Amino acid sequence: MNFRKLFDFLRDLNSEGNNNKAWMDEHRKQYETIRDEYKEFLSDLNLSLAKIHPDYHDTPGKKAINRINNNLVFHPNKPTYKDHFGAGMDQAKNYADFYIHLGINECFLAGGFYHSPNDILKKIRAAIDYNGNEFKKIISAKEFNDYYGELMSDDALTNAPKGYSIDHPHIELLKLRSFVVMHPLTQKEVISDDFKEELIKAYRILLPFRNYLNQAVAFEE
């Protein structure tokens, strides 16, 4: 996969006056070639990731890749097309993300539940209430912390969530509404020959974190 061409296409698409259907129609063959090559890359990655986790959900490139069109029904002020290619591996309903974001403004890997729905959030908080020490052990492990850093806390509650005391030993985790970590990438890292190996490494390091969340969500009360 030639990721230089992917970034070049995104830069051209998002240049002034180009982010519209007329420009895309004129360059659709170029877009489809890049998109299809990326699908092939993702399908190959899919096979490699499946060897790591016995409960991996088969996610070939066609399923993994996100649409490049923005949703203008709910976000009418956004450009017609995105400035990035997004893809999610190991996909299943109510399953924590392993997300790959390759854009001209930022590139990153992420995993977990972003803006968790209330039913999922309730189950994750219950798991932390019951066994938060295990979760803390996972997120404070050196390899995990060195690679992903701290959990996203931008949308955390100010006060304790309903049903939990402010002096709960895991109150800062219980306040979270997203259970997500991110690892930034440079375009230089993406275009390097060992990018696929970097993705495999990122998936492996993230796995205990995702497994904890997935087990919490799968729990039947």
More confident residue, 110 or 74: 110
Task: From 121, 124, 122, 114, select the one nearest 153 (Cα to Cα).
Answer: 114
Is the pLDDT reported for residue 221 higher than 90?
A: no
pLDDT digits (tens, 9 = 90+) for 92-118: 999 999 999 999 999 999 999 998 889
pLDDT digits (tens, 9 = 90+) for 34-46: 999 999 999 999 9
* 3-class DSSP assignment, residue 139: helix
Is the pLDDT reported for residue 166 higher than 90?
A: yes
Tell me the pLDDT band of 74, cut-offs 50, 70 and 90. Answer: confident
Q: Which residue has the tokens 């996203």?
A: 152
127-138: burial string, b at 16+ Cβ within 10 Å, e else: bbeeebeebeeb
Is the pLDDT reported for residue 11 higher than 80?
A: yes
- Alpha carbon 42 to its chain centroid, in Å, reads 14
Distances (CA, A) of 44 to 64, 98, 130: 12, 16, 39
| pLDDT attached to residue 220 | 64
Tell me the pLDDT band of 56, cut-offs 50, 70 and 90. Answer: very high
Of all residues in the chain, the percent with pLDDT exceeding 90 is: 93
Beta carbons within 8 Å of 220's beta carbon, 6+ residues apart: none
Mean pLDDT, the chain, as a whole number?
A: 96
pTM assigned to the model:
0.94
* 3-class DSSP assignment, residue 98: strand
